[in-house]
């Protein structure tokens, strides 16, 4: 997940890094508080990486050609196939394009939108016996809510939820649909 992008209190045109400060002001605050380590190469400059300032680190870092990087990566992949597979699997589940991730996000969004917790949903499904209260099918259940009050009603299967939505939550429309089906299919209603 990306970080929350809020405006800095010190410079509203910049993004806040930490403590509500932009990156530059945060770095100056760290230095003033004595939390920023000095570089071993130049004590007047701040530490960048491996005890060096940014200029010395960039000079000391071995620059690799693209071919050398590719060869190093290929060697690592052949030596550690399990780690590579695990990393790919993790990337897939965290990816924005992953169907699993989108499904999880959609469920979380729909739950928080109606003030529900996962435990509330589990309790509702158990109370309904794991079935849709309208058609009694044991399909995947989704949240049904009142569109006016935004209050949770029950967990329904997708078809029944769409049926109520297309009928505009109007019992008169649903009753006339029942009468229509009874007339044209000659249904015998068992009570």
How would you write the chain as a 3-class SS string? CCCCCCECCCCCCCECCECCECHHHHHHHHHHHCCCCECCCCCCCECCECCECHHHHHHHCCCCCHHHHHHHHHHHHHHCHHHHHHHHHHHHHHCCCCHHHHHHHHHHHHHHHCCCCHHHHHHHHHHCCCCCCCCCCCCCEEEEECCCCCCEEEEEEHHHHHHHHHCCCCHHHHHHHHHHHHHHHCCCCCC
Sign of the Cα pseudo-torsion (102, 106, 112, 115, in order)? negative
Domain with CATH 3.40.1800.10 in the chain: 100-185
- Predicted confidence pLDDT, tens digits, the chain (191 residues): 344 457 778 887 777 778 888 888 888 888 788 777 888 888 888 877 888 888 888 887 777 778 888 898 999 999 999 999 988 887 776 665 565 555 555 566 666 677 777 777 778 888 888 888 988 888 888 888 888 887 888 888 889 989 988 988 888 988 988 888 888 776 555 44
Looking at CATH, the fold of the domain delimited by 100-185 is given as 3.40.1800
- Give CA separation, 106 vs 52, 103, 151, 154, in Å: 45, 5, 18, 18
| Dist CA 56 CA 158 (whole Å) | 61
pLDDT value for 116: 75
pLDDT value for 26: 87
pLDDT value for 92: 73
Task: Tally Cβ neighbours within 10 Å of residue 101.
Answer: 14
- Tokens of residue 177, six digits: 């649909």
pLDDT value for 83: 92
């Amino acid at each position: 997940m990306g970080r929350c992008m809020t405006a800095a209190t010190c410079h509203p045109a910049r993004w806040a890094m930490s403590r509500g400060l932009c990156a530059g002001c945060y770095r100056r605050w760290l230095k003033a508080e004595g939390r920023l380590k000095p570089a071993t190469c130049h004590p007047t400059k701040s530490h960048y990486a491996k005890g060096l300032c940014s200029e010395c680190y960039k000079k000391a870092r071995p620059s690799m050609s693209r071919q050398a990087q590719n060869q190093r990566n290929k060697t690592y992949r052949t030596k550690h196939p399990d780690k590579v597979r695990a990393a790919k699997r993790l990337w897939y589940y965290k990816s924005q394009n992953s169907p699993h991730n989108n499904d999880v996000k959609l469920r979380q969004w729909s739950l928080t939108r109606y003030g529900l917790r996962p435990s509330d949903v589990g309790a509702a499904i158990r109370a309904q016996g794991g079935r849709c209260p309208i058609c009694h099918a044991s399909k995947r259940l989704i949240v049904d809510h009142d569109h006016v009050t935004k209050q949770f009603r029950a967990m329904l299967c997708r078809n029944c939820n769409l049926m109520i939505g297309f009928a505009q939550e109007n019992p008169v429309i649903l009753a006339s649909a029942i009468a229509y089906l009874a007339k044209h299919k000659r249904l015998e209603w068992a009570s």
